[in-house]
């Protein structure tokens, strides 16, 4: 066993990469849940984004176009969910689960001809000057564009929810849809927009996996990342920065345990493999253990069907 082979700098740098898919999916789902909708289809939207982005990037040889396509595919898939639950008033839990099953099946159908294909490489974005700072440079400033985009989305969501009227209206709709309706806000329209934003984020997260992190297409490659994203949102008490923290913690432990496996630590591989899930959940459960404050931040209308009575 040789622990000295693990470089802390590389570890931190790679944890950001490894956490980005979950972070993207979770921040999108946070917005969806803040509007009062529970979309359990994150996994399905992620994998659909992964294959759509991969296919478009391979066909056009343009990774950026692939990412755009992934966001679009995620948004379209989530629109199906939105239409079913918001307009046709179907059950959100059942529809979300169906979306995941559909996404998994659909992606493996499309993906048949893409296994083993290599996608075009995405450019690494070395920020000049900043990336030359010792330690901080490689850790923070030598990533691909999407790592920064994902952090920017978290910051944007935080600002939107906390400081803007649009965010206030979104929270109001998630808190009490009947009251929001009585005040003249378009509950269904606002929720559809939130759902599609969530779908686009999940799609991006999926494409980040297949285009940048891995990068190749394998069937079922999201491997439960969507479910972790869903759990993160709840354990992070619907707070954007906590979602970031949780995602990086998960990413960090994932990378660390891979390194430990490589270093030949005398712990069975199974325990190491489950450690990211366990540790993330334990930490976030402890952080959200004050039930009252969590309850306050939880959207009160979450998962309830809205039907205008007049």
Partner 1 sequence: MTGKRDPLLSVQGLTKAYPGVLANDDISFSVLPGEVHALLGENGAGKSTLVKMIYGLVHPDRGEMMLNGVPYAPAKPGDARLAGVAMVFQHFSLFDALSVAENISLGMEHPPRPADLSEQITRVSQAYGLPLDPDRLVGELSAGERQRVEIIRCLLQDPKLLIMDEPTSVLTPQEVGILFETLRKLSREGTAILYISHKLEEIRDLCDSATILRQGRVVATCDPREHSARELAELMVGEILQAPERTSANMGEVVLDVSGLSLPAPTHFGTALENIGFSLRAGEVLGIGGVAGNGQDELLASLSGETRTAPHCIRLDGRPIGNLGPNARRELGLLAAPEERLGHAAAPDMSLTENALLTGAIREKLVRNGVISWAGTRKFARRIIGEFDVRTPGPETPARALSGGNLQKFVIGREILQRPEVLVVNQPTWGVDASAAASIRQALLDLAQKGAAIIVISQDLDELMEISDTFAALAAGHLTKPRPAHGLTVEEIGLMLAGMTTEEAPHADA
Residues that bind partner 1 (CB under 8 A): 165, 168-169, 171-172, 175-176, 178-180, 182-185, 292, 295-297, 300, 310
CB of 246 to partner 1, least distance (A): 22
Q: Of 180 and 247, which has the nearer Cβ to partner 1? A: 180
Residues in the chain: 310
The C-alpha atoms of residue 80 and residue 91 are separated, in whole angstroms, by 13
Pure H helices in 2-60: 8-34, 42-60
Q: Of 74 and 299, which has the nearer Cβ to partner 1? A: 299
CB of 30 to partner 1, least distance (A): 15
Q: Of 9 and 300, which has the nearer Cβ to partner 1? A: 300
The C-alpha atoms of residue 139 and residue 129 are separated, in whole angstroms, by 14
Judged on CB neighbours under 10 Å (0-12, 13-18, 19+), 15 is buried
CB of 241 to partner 1, least distance (A): 19
CB of 36 to partner 1, least distance (A): 11
Instruction: Name the nearest CA neighbour of 167 among 253, 238, 249.
Output: 238
Q: Of 102 and 185, which has the nearer Cβ to partner 1? A: 185
The C-alpha atoms of residue 217 and residue 291 are separated, in whole angstroms, by 41
CB of 184 to partner 1, least distance (A): 3
Q: Of 159 and 300, which has the nearer Cβ to partner 1? A: 300
Place of tokens 């564009």: 145
- Helix or strand run (H / E) with residue 84: none
Compute CA distances 148 → 55, 62, 180, 202, whole Å: 24, 19, 35, 16
CB of 83 to partner 1, least distance (A): 23
The C-alpha atoms of residue 242 and residue 285 are separated, in whole angstroms, by 12
CB of 163 to partner 1, least distance (A): 9
* CB hemisphere CA count around 223 (13 angstroms): 9
- Do residues 166 and 160 touch, judged by C-beta distance below 8 A? yes
Q: Of 183 and 267, which has the nearer Cβ to partner 1? A: 183
Q: Of 59 and 290, which has the nearer Cβ to partner 1? A: 290
Place of tokens 């990412």: 67
């Amino acid at each position: 066993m040789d622990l000295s082979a693990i470089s802390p700098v590389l570890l931190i740098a790679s944890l950001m990469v490894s956490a980005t898919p979950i972070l993207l999916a979770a921040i999108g789902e946070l917005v969806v849940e803040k509007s009062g909708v529970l979309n359990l289809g994150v996994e399905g939207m992620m994998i659909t984004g992964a294959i759509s982005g991969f296919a478009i990037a391979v066909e056009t040889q343009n990774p950026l176009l692939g990412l755009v396509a992934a966001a679009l595919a995620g948004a379209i898939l989530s629109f199906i969910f939105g239409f079913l639950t918001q307009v046709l008033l179907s059950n959100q839990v059942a529809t979300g689960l169906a979306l995941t099953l559909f996404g998994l099946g659909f992606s493996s159908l499309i993906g048949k001809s893409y296994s083993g294909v290599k996608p075009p490489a995405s450019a690494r974005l070395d920020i000049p000057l900043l990336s030359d700072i010792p330690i901080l440079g490689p850790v923070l400033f030598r990533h691909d564009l999407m790592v920064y985009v994902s952090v920017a989305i978290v910051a944007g969501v935080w600002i939107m929810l906390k400081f803007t009227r649009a965010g206030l209206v979104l929270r109001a709709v998630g808190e009490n849809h009947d009251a929001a309706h009585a005040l003249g806000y378009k509950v269904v329209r606002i929720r559809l927009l939130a759902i599609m934003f969530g779908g686009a984020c999940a799609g991006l997260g999926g494409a980040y996996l297949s285009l940048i992190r891995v990068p190749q297409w394998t069937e079922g490659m999201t491997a439960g990342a969507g479910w972790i994203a869903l759990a993160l949102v709840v354990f992070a008490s619907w707070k954007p920065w906590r979602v970031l923290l949780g995602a990086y913690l998960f990413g960090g432990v994932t990378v660390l345990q891979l390194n430990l496996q490589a270093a030949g630590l005398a712990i069975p591989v199974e325990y190491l493999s489950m450690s990211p899930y366990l540790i993330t959940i334990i930490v976030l459960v402890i952080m959200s253990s004050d039930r009252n404050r969590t309850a306050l931040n939880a959207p009160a209308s979450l998962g309830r069907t809205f039907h205008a009575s007049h």
